[in-house]
Structure 1
Amino acid sequence: MKLFKHTLLALVCAGTMSAQAQNVENEVDQEASYLSSKTVPVFKGYKNTNGSIYNDKEFKRGTVFVDGKMTASNVGLRYNAQSEEIEYMKQLGSQATVVNVVKKSENIDVKILNDHYVYLPSPGKKFKDGYLIVLEENDKLTLYKKLSKEFVEGKKSVNSYTRDVPDSFKEREVLFIKVKGEEIKEVPGSKGKRKKLFSSKENEVTTYMKNEKLNLRKDEDLIKALKYYSTLN
């Protein structure tokens, strides 16, 4: 009887170890589908420099999708706008000094809190392939924002009446729109040119903007106008 119990216990333990090993193997295979071989040090920022190379310098809770399927959740993610990379920390809040980088691929997208990042080919000659943040998406159109950081060298004070201007990272945002059946294109910055986005329903949208007191130069008002435009037949 004791021999039977020992044999049974051994079989249970072996089965548990086998299942654990299989789970680890599956997890490694999953990570290989969305993580590149590149690693980067956990970087907090440059000293005596205003701004940051990151959209948010702290890792935030995020989710990774491969081919539209959630593949990793509750992981730490942050967007490096200078190198256009998504940095990945397996356990949010860990004391890791080195982290992984998510593969740059059109079939991989991530969500960092409420920001949805997708990787797309260059939408224009003056831009390279990279990440865009989805601002609005519906059956008719998708509105994206491309975030970049430009290094601006500081200046030393020339006299006792002025102060030193430190180095800084200046944030730049460019919007892009993809209307169903059309190529993705840059959204112009002026109110008049943005109004042309609604040329097929200009009267209805103009009335709506007047009633809602929308200013198309403001991105949040443009999104409201696009949402309304998408409801029109």
Structure 2
Amino acid sequence: MTIADPDIATPSKVTVDEIQEQILERICFAHYPPGTQLKEAALAKEFGVSRTPVRDAIARIGHLGLVETRNGVGTVVIELSAERVRHLYEMRMELAQMIGTLSPITVTEYHRKEARSIYENAVALRERLDSQEYVKLNQRLQALITSLIGNHSLREFWNQAYFQSSSVWHRMEQIVGKIAYDALVQETFDLANALEREDIAAVGFLQRIYIGYAFQLIEKHLLNPQNKREL
């Protein structure tokens, strides 16, 4: 996405959705690590908009549990405690099981084509181990999974839990390297096959398996007191 120069008139402004997407990506990439202050004035100047859409975008991110407002400081990116990470992954595994049971949707050719494309990209990415592209492909996978959830409330909880956990898993990917890429290839392969069969229940089952696997790695490398790393 091209960010508008605030000094140059353009026919359309950057939207709240686009600002939110950019800030979320920076948090997920750890370009905005925990403790980073999100300054409305600076972001408004960067995106070439007034402070109102920036404020709205930050408020949305606040609802995802990624930032908080502190007295005398402003809005900052928060750090998840080990206990919160455990609770988050436990909840994600439970939510996954509901994907195929609460208001299941009809699988379309778009879903099948997108799953195949993500799998092919995952295979190619495994050969070059690019962290930023890895996060982007995971976000694309997340968007596909979300589009398969018919229940509105479940979809909201699913998205919130994903974004809260994404920065933790990004740091995990940097620790385990190729293991994370191999897991993504296998996950997207299994997902593509499930969608070819139009088996939404299997999608939820597979998500629970792979989220559980990710949690095992996080517990081993990030949460284990004998091998603890800063979250």
TM-score by length of 2: 0.22
Q: Which has the higher contact order (CA 8 A, sep 6+)?
A: 2
TM-score by length of 1: 0.22
